[in-house]
């Protein structure tokens, strides 16, 4: 068991190392460097450019810079944004908080609803309730986030005037000031999330319902709801832990779009801005943070299911 966990941790770290390399190489491939971006039209002045490159250590070979950057990142120092003239950690911190707030709120709303609807759909398999739930789920998960978000704004903000359509709160405002602004973005994100998760829950519950031990329990005359709560749900919901984590991680991409639509001051919008104005150091840092989140979520999910499911402990990973 201990060895398994260690192995899983090592794999996670390995993935992170690979991600840092991919991101670093990707950003290296961008034409121009931090100094050409920083100096803008002043680039013509060769001496200035050379001095700037000297100051930021851009003359060192790529692999040396990689180790400097990665070493700094390990200690929480993500470097300095040349474009914005600020330490990246300061820039990123508050945005990360906002994105996590959005994600956590959407999960808090979405996951319970998804599990409830998924179980209902599975138990009423192929009957009216299931068809309604499953069909709406397909619609919800296939619509691009920017469409559902735009429609939400059109209905609730433009036509009904109930909620603000865009966020105008300062990025560093305290959490409670976001509460009203954040309702529509939460709905937009929870919408997609719920659809993905409920489909997985439905499949898992249906699988377990069809298993021999559940059939046995039903034949023995165990009351239906007791079968559902004692035998089916614990076994069906375990495998979904993993899938939920994967979905959450995958939806990190979707939050970027939702943040843009609602003008929400999160990490995703910062990333988009930094790509368009070529703030390379910032792009690298954000990519790294998102990758850490992704790998971390997966790791937690794996460890949780390892703890919760004794059968996995003896399996080869």
| DSSP type of residue 267 | H
Binds other proteins by CB under 8 A, chosen from 4, 252, 303, 304: 252
129 in contact with other proteins (CB under 8 A)? no
Pick between residue 217 and residue 282 the one whose CB is nearest to other proteins.
Answer: 282
Among positions 65-124, residues that touch other proteins (CB under 8 A) are: none
CA nearest to 296, candidates 85, 9, 23: 9
In whole angstroms, give the CA distance from residue 270 to residue 113: 30
Structure tokens at 42: 């002043």
Within 231-250, the residues that bind other proteins by CB under 8 A are 243, 246-247, 249-250
State which residue, 27 or 39, has the beta carbon closest to other proteins: 27
CA distance 33 to 46: 14
Residue 291 near other proteins by CB under 8 A: yes
User: Rounded to 5 degrees, what angle do the CA atoms 103, 292, 241 make?
Assistant: 55
- The reply on whether position 256 binds other proteins by CB under 8 A is yes
Torsion-angle region of residue 309: left (phi > 0), alpha (psi -120 to 50) or beta?
beta
**Residue in 18, 68, 216, 300 binding other proteins, rule: CB under 8 A:** 18
Q: In this chain, which stretch among 59-67, 106-114, 217-225, 260-268 interacts with other proteins, using CB under 8 A?
A: 260-268
Q: Binder to other proteins among 47, 75, 85, 276 (CB under 8 A)?
A: 276
Report the distance separating Cα 21 and Cα 13, nearest Å: 13
Residue with tokens 């991600």: 19
Q: How many residues does the chain have?
A: 317
Note whether 49 binds other proteins by CB under 8 A. Answer: no
Q: How far is the CB of 135 from other proteins (least distance, A)?
A: 8
| Token output for 40 | 């803008």
Interface pick for other proteins out of 27, 183, 304, 306 (rule CB under 8 A) = 27
> What distance in Å separates the CA atoms of residue 200 and residue 114, rounded to the nearest whole number?
9
Q: What is the DSSP string of 42-85?
A: GGG-HHHHHHHHHHTTTTS-HHHHHHHHHHHHHTT---EETTTT
Please, what is the minimum distance in Å from the beta carbon of residue 222 to other proteins? Answer: 27
Among residues 84 and 269, whose Cβ is nearest to other proteins? Answer: 269
How many H-runs (helices) and E-runs (strands) does the chain carry? 14, 2
Can residue 142 be called a binding residue for other proteins (CB under 8 A)?
A: yes
Which of 39, 163, 260, 304 binds other proteins (CB under 8 A)? It is 260
By CB under 8 A, residue 34 contacts other proteins: no
Q: Does residue 113 contact residue 190 with C-beta atoms inside 8 Å?
A: yes
Considering the complex, what minimum distance in angstroms separates the CB of residue 158 from other proteins?
5
Q: Does 45 bind other proteins (CB under 8 A)?
A: no
Query: Which of 4, 19, 306, 312: binder of other proteins (CB under 8 A)?
Result: 19
Does residue 149 contact residue 262 with C-beta atoms inside 8 Å? yes
Q: Interface residues with other proteins (CB under 8 A)?
A: 11, 14-16, 18-19, 21-23, 26-27, 29-31, 138-139, 141-147, 150-151, 153-154, 158, 196, 199-200, 202-203, 243, 246-247, 249-250, 252-253, 256-257, 260-261, 268, 271-272, 275-276, 278, 283, 286-287, 290-291, 294-295, 298
């Amino acid at each position: 068991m201990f060895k398994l966990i260690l192995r899983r941790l090592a794999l996670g770290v390995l993935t992170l190392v690979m991600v840092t390399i991919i991101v670093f190489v990707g950003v290296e491939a961008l034409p121009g460097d931090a100094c050409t971006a920083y100096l803008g039209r002043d680039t013509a002045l060769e001496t200035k450019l050379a001095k700037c490159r000297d100051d930021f250590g851009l003359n060192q070979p790529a692999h040396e810079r990689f180790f400097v950057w990665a070493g700094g990142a390990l200690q929480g120092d993500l470097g300095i944004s040349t474009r914005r003239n600020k330490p990246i950690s300061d820039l990123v911190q508050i945005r990360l908080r906002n994105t996590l707030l959005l994600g956590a709120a959407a999960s808090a709303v979405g996951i319970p609803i998804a599990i409830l609807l998924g179980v209902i759909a599975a138990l009423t398999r192929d009957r009216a309730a299931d068809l309604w739930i499953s069909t709406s789920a397909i619609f919800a998960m296939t619509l691009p986030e920017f469409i559902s978000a735009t429609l939400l704004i059109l209905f609730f903000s433009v036509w009904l005037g109930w909620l603000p359509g865009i966020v105008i709160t300062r990025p560093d405002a305290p959490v409670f000031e976001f509460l009203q602004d954040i309702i529509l973005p939460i709905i937009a994100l929870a919408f997609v999330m719920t659809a993905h998760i409920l489909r997985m829950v439905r499949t898992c519950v249906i699988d377990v319902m069809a298993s021999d031990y559940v059939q046995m329990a039903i034949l023995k005359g165990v009351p239906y709801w007791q079968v559902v709560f004692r035998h089916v749900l614990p076994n069906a919901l375990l495998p979904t832990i993993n899938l939920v984590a994967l979905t959450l991680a995958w939806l990190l991409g979707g939050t970027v779009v939702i943040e843009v639509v609602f003008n929400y001051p999160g990490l995703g919008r910062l990333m988009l801005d930094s790509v368009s104005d070529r703030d390379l150091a910032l792009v690298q840092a954000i990519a790294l943070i998102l990758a850490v989140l992704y790998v971390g979520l997966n790791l937690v999910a794996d460890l949780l299911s390892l703890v919760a499911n004794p059968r996995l402990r003896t399996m080869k990973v």
